[in-house]
Homo-oligomer: A and B are copies of this chain.
Amino acid sequence: MIIILNPGATEAQLGELTADLEARGYGIHLSKGVERTIVGVIGTPERDKEDLIAQFESLSYVERVIPILKPYKLVDRAFKPEGTVLNVRGVEIGGRRLCVMAGPCTVESPEMLFETARFVKEQGAHILRGGAFKPSTSPYSFHGMGEAGLKLLAEAREMTGMPIITEVMDTRDVELVCRYTDILQVGTRNMTNFSLLREIGDTRVPVMLKRGWASKIEEWLQAAEYIASRGNYQIILCERGIRTFETYTRNTFDLNAIPAIKELSHLPVIADPAHGTGKWSLVNAVARGAVAAGADGVMIEVHPSPEKALKDGSQSLKFEVFAQMMRELAPIAGAVGRSL
């Protein structure tokens, strides 16, 4: 941590600051420039920097406090330079083979779920997705089938052999959802629901953590650190677009985040081009781009008839568009030394 003093800071104030730092047990490295005095603070526990920085920034003679270390440790690339590969019922995530998660946004009925599950399996998908508990901006919208939906997902797993992934939104539901699912999903709206992250951190069930729509990459990794800090290391990250000023698309898919995550963390990263665009007609192009940039897989919403979908119809792929995406992804996977 580095503390930059105001140009007008006095010697007395500097003395007060260094005394405080020493009383807290830190080492000090002082650098007096022509225009600014800089105090290097040695031995600061940077992982809880947030609060410490705020303390020193509250001093009237301090101009700025700059953290040096990253505010996460367990999910840092340095912690596991070779990268994490998860194995979920035989399906690898983060390995050489891309992982395609596909299925309906929401479990609506046995028929539509089974039909979709069978189709995506045939086309080469590896994991079945489907929502039983669904967040909705409006209180009057459909909120999912709940446990009945989880049971249908489990049935579809039996039927197709595909592991399943589904969202959990409430700390009270974690145990229930874990009874059925192979991978828990934390949605964008809950990335900063720290109670939920802790609860999931206490399970040993793999989890896919979606990026908050207005969360920085560093904050996203801190959210992952929440889970890891409780002992659950089976974490998958999912880039799903961020909120910007652009209105033609629902979100702005942050392609930069794919290689950035690869630099910063050892965790696998999946792309969600459906939420990342909000428009089915853009999904395939963005899926190709994400894989070419190094994503470990894609999560895709598929629906037999999107115009009847209870949720997210505008970004769900029809069967034939999904099939086309799979055909297009294969050569891209090959071009980056992977397979589908």
Indicate if the CB atoms of A137 and B222 lie closer than 8 Å.
Answer: yes
The stretch of A88-96, A111-119, A156-164, A169-177 in contact with B is A169-177
What residue in chain B is nearest A245 (Cβ atoms)? B243
- A33-B42, A252-B254 are known contacts. Are A138 and B48 too (CB-CB below 8 A)? yes
A130 at the interface (CB under 8 A from B): no
What is the size, in residues, of chain A's interface with B at 8 Å between Cβ atoms?
Answer: 118
A335 surroundings in chain B (CB, below 8 A): 288, 292, 331-332, 334-335
- A54-B313, A66-B66, A289-B293 are known contacts. Are A245 and B216 too (CB-CB below 8 A)? yes
Segment 149-203 of A: residues with Cβ below 8 Å from B: 169-173, 189-190, 192-195, 197-198
**Other contacts beyond A34-B42, A245-B245, A248-B264: 4, CB < 8 A:** A20-B307, A213-B214, A242-B252, A262-B285
- Chain B nearest CB from A251 CB (Å) reads 8
A246 surroundings in chain B (CB, below 8 A): 216-217, 242, 254, 256-257
Indicate if the CB atoms of A248 and B42 lie closer than 8 Å.
Answer: no
Indicate if the CB atoms of A169 and B195 lie closer than 8 Å.
Answer: yes
A306 surroundings in chain B (CB, below 8 A): 55, 58
A205 at the interface (CB under 8 A from B): no
Indicate if the CB atoms of B253 and A139 lie closer than 8 Å.
Answer: no
Docked CA distance A315–B195 (Å): 25
Indicate if the CB atoms of B217 and A248 lie closer than 8 Å.
Answer: yes
Which one of A69, A260, A262 has the greatest number of beta carbons of chain B within 10 Å?
A: A260
Docked CA distance A257–B277 (Å): 10
Segment 295-311 of A: residues with Cβ below 8 Å from B: 306-311
A49 at the interface (CB under 8 A from B): yes
Task: Show 27 A/B contacts (Cβ-Cβ < 8 Å), sorted by A.
Answer: A2-B2, A20-B307, A29-B31, A34-B43, A35-B68, A35-B69, A38-B68, A47-B138, A47-B140, A48-B140, A51-B142, A51-B309, A51-B310, A51-B313, A54-B312, A58-B315, A139-B229, A169-B194, A212-B214, A216-B245, A242-B246, A244-B252, A253-B255, A259-B285, A286-B293, A288-B335, A334-B335
